[in-house]
Amino acid sequence: MDKLHIQPVIAAKVLCLLEEAKEPLVAAVIAQKFHLPGKRETQRRHVRAIIEYLRQHGSMVIATLSAGYWLTKDEALYKEYLEGRQIDAKRILGETGRQKKTVFYKGQGILFAPAAG
pLDDT tens column, 36-54: 999 999 999 999 999 999 9
pLDDT tens column, 60-110: 999 988 899 999 999 999 999 988 887 767 777 777 777 777 666 565 555
Question: Per-residue pLDDT for 29 more than 70?
Answer: yes
Q: What is the pLDDT of residue 26?
A: 96
3-class secondary structure for the chain?
CCCCCCCHHHHHHHHHHHHHCCCCECHHHHHHHCCCCCCHHHHHHHHHHHHHHHHHCCCCEEEECCCEEEECCCHHHHHHHHHHHHHHHHHHHHHHHHHHHHHHHHCHHHHCCCCCC
Model pTM? 0.72
Question: Per-residue pLDDT for 1 more than 50?
Answer: no
